[in-house]
Amino acid sequence: MNTATVLGLIAAREAAASAARDDLREQQAKLAAEVAAIECELADLATTRQTLTKILEHEVTASEPSVISEPYQQILAVFTPDRGALRAKDVCLALGIGTEPKDTEGIRAKLKRLVNRHILTESQPGLFTLTEKRA
């Protein structure tokens, strides 16, 4: 093999490597732009979540149960000042729905949400009553 052939092979290899590098840099720039856009969206979502959480905490704790959806209103109707603490199964029975685990767990989740909204109190694990200001 002569020197010109070797230099030609090196030049061809160098051109291919240079083209591959340029393609990779272009891909890298596109990926960096996509990452930046996703990071911006994540920051916006985090801000939105924080704002919404603050608004909901204020609105729901300050509001009357009448602004709560109908299923929650039905649950709250079961709780009366003269009635003692209730378990999720008791609420299911009072509402006339099943007492299977799927039913009681669904009601328990709603009861826990009402506790988080300061409408109900969980005096002991699994026992729910109206908060004093609601009673």
Query: Over the stretch 47-79, which tens digit does the pLDDT of each residue have?
Result: 998 888 877 766 555 555 555 788 888 899 898
Given this model, what pLDDT does residue 58 score?
Answer: 63
Arithmetic mean of pLDDT, 109-127: 90
Q: What is the pLDDT of residue 69?
A: 80
Q: Do the beta carbons of residue 95 and residue 74 sit within 8 Å?
A: yes
- Domain locations in the chain as residue ranges: 1-62, 65-130
Residue 104 has what DSSP assignment? H
Which option is the CATH number for 65-130: 1.10.275.10, 3.40.190.10, 1.10.10.10, 2.70.98.60? Answer: 1.10.10.10
Q: Is the dihedral of CA 24, 29, 33, 36 positive or negative?
A: positive
Q: Which of 128, 123, 83 is nearest to 107 (CA)?
A: 128
Determine the pLDDT at residue 100.
92
Give me the chain's average pLDDT, please: 87
Indicate the burial class of 110 (C-beta count within 10 angstroms; 0-12, 13-18, 19 or more). buried
